[in-house]
Homo-oligomer: A and B are copies of this chain.
Amino acid sequence: MVALSIQEVSRHCGLSEPTLRYYEDIGLIGPVSRDERSGHRRYGTADVDTLEVLACLRAVGMRIEDMRVYLANRARGLSTSAEQRDLLLRQAERVEAEIRAKQARLGYLREKAALWDARHRGDAEAEAASSARLPLLIAGMELGASPAR
């Protein structure tokens, strides 16, 4: 039985140490066993496996409550496989929307930077051109879109 420290687990699966503690606090994982004398967390293989999955789900922006559902389904095995698939596909759609939104925003940022650069250089013509392009970019953005999740 391996018994990794919080730092090792953090590096391994890319979740910060506070996040690991937080996930334990809210009962997503664990309770994680402790080193008798120091009281430090020692993560076993099962914990790490679960955390790897959680890290990926989190990375794609899944909410905690959906993670709970996913883990519960996983524990129940095959019977829920269609549900698992749909949970993930819905999430994938959300991520795609976020990517599209971000690309639009990126265009805006770059144009706005060009505008200030033109001002900086005292290039009135370039400044006017940028100013003219900006409203189009704003129009291209889905305004209602969430900022970052």
A residues with a Cβ closer than 8 A to B are 13-14, 52, 55-56, 58-61, 78, 81-82, 84-85, 88-89, 91-92, 95-96, 98-99, 101-103, 105-106, 108-110, 112-113, 116-117, 119-120, 138, 141, 143-145, 147-149
Q: How far is the CB of A28 from chain B (nearest CB, A)?
A: 15
Q: How far is the CB of A137 from chain B (nearest CB, A)?
A: 9
Across the interface, do B147 and A58 meet the contact criterion of CB distance under 8 Å?
yes
Given A141-B59, A147-B58, A149-B148, A78:B119 Cβ within 8 A: yes
Across the interface, do A55 and B102 meet the contact criterion of CB distance under 8 Å?
no
Provide a sorted-by-A list of 23 A–B residue pairs whose CB atoms are within 8 angstroms: A13-B143, A59-B101, A59-B105, A59-B108, A60-B105, A78-B119, A81-B117, A81-B120, A82-B117, A84-B119, A85-B116, A88-B112, A88-B113, A89-B110, A89-B113, A91-B109, A92-B109, A92-B110, A95-B105, A95-B106, A99-B102, A148-B148, A148-B149
